[in-house]
Amino acid sequence: MPHPRLVVEVLEEFPWASFSTDPKLPPQSVIAQSGRFIPLSDFPAVVKPRMVIYGSSNLKMTAHEVTQWASWANYIAEQTGRPVDFIDLREPFDVHVQNGDLHFKLGMPDTTLTRRLGRIVSILPTVEGMKDKIDYIDLGLDNSIPLKVLKTPKKNVEMAQQNSASRNL
């Protein structure tokens, strides 16, 4: 007579990025390299990577898409010398990336994105001296790289916010 036995199958996942539906909310899940979303409510002790992906609540990713986005994030980080903080996929045709103190508007992630990302290194010397005046760097176009310039530099805005906050105390 056969003896009953218990078979335990272990599924090992490697965290790639944290996931949130809104920048104002803490991450709700972790995206594994396989593309699987691991809910933090079920697995609160899972490692939460520093990079965050913002997306709609029904966002799905395949292992291939995770690999592609990881490649693009590494490419940006290699050129700027800063890690990517977040990738905003909430608008699929208007993707944004925060990279330290630089904000990139990537536009549509299509077959030309790698080539468009390759232009970052050519504009860094120009941008470095005026980072506090730039809202974002637009890499969505094929032939030019527009810079969205702020009317008030970021440092002045931050100081005004701090002053108003200290007056309210």
Q: What's the total number of domains in the chain?
A: 1
Answer yes or no: is 163 within a domain. yes
Residue 33 is classified by DSSP as T
Q: What is the pLDDT of residues 52-99, one digit of tens each?
A: 999 999 999 999 999 999 999 999 999 999 999 999 999 989 999 999
Give the CATH number of the domain where residue 35 resides.
Answer: 3.40.50.11690
Residue 48 in contact with residue 27, Cβ under 8 Å?
Answer: yes
Tell me what the mean pLDDT of segment 128-138 comes to. Answer: 90
pLDDT at residue 169 is higher than 70: no
pTM of the model: 0.83
CA distance 98 to 94: 13
Structural domain boundaries, residue 93 = 15-168
CA distance 90 to 25: 14
Q: How far is CA 39 from the centre of its chain?
A: 18
Share of the chain above pLDDT 90, in %: 72
Say if residue 53 is exposed, middle or buried (CB neighbours under 10 Å; 0-12, 13-18, 19+): buried
Share of the chain above pLDDT 70, in %: 90
Answer yes or no: is 86 within a domain. yes
Answer yes or no: is 6 within a domain. no
**118 CB-side CA count, 13 A:** 7
Q: What is the pLDDT of residues 15-25, one digit of tens each?
A: 999 999 999 99
